[in-house]
Amino acid sequence: MEWTHRTAVVNGIHIHYVTHGHGAPVILLHGWPEFWYGWRQQIPVLGERFEVIVPDMRGFGYSDKPLTGYDTRTAASDIYELARLLGHQRVALVAHDIGARVAYRFTLDHEDMVSRLALLDSTPRTSVMGRSGRRWSESAGTPTSINSTICRKSSSKDARRSICGIFSGIGA
């Protein structure tokens, strides 16, 4: 299995990312203390139907490790700017652990760019999502308690299939 490694300058830092496949864009965000390689088993499965984009978030893997900018808003801005640089107007996001916090912030800040959102292992409770978070999840047809979408073992074949199932409507 071969995928393409690239680096882009966003928000003044170098972000490393891996791409694979063709189709509607799906961005996979890793957890702590991981990097793109944590998604290695999902990349080929999703790459059969989607353009998979897997960045190393700032401070991780092959991306720059600046002294500042580790808040979720800045990290979400990095991913947003990467998506824009790659020419995407809408993306699906799949994220777990701290990546879920970044994806959630991305969605709150740029909801018009998010076609689908899957948060694994670290979903915020609706009591901390705030008003706009509840509005977004309800308009997306998601239950108010998003915790029902959590996957515990994303490296298993069943979890890979369930992630693909979440995105069955993308690009249709």
Q: pLDDT (tens digit, 0 to 9) for every residue of the chain, 172 residues total?
A: 688 999 999 999 999 999 999 999 999 999 999 999 999 999 999 999 999 999 999 999 999 999 999 999 999 999 999 999 999 999 999 999 999 999 999 999 999 999 999 999 865 545 455 555 555 555 544 433 333 333 333 344 444 444 445 544 444 3
pTM reported for the whole predicted model: 0.76
**CB-count exposure of residue 169 (10 Å: 0-12, 13-18, 19+):** exposed
- Across 100-136, b (16+ Cβ under 10 Å) vs e yields bbbbbbbbbebeebbbbbbbbbbbeebeebeeebeeb
Q: What is the pLDDT of residue 124?
A: 56
By the 8 A CB rule, do 43 and 51 touch? Answer: no
Q: What is the pLDDT of residue 121?
A: 83
Q: What is the pLDDT of residue 16?
A: 98
The CATH H-level superfamily of 4-159 is Alpha/Beta hydrolase fold, catalytic domain (3.40.50.1820)
Helix, strand, or coil here: 111? helix
Q: What is the pLDDT of residue 134?
A: 54
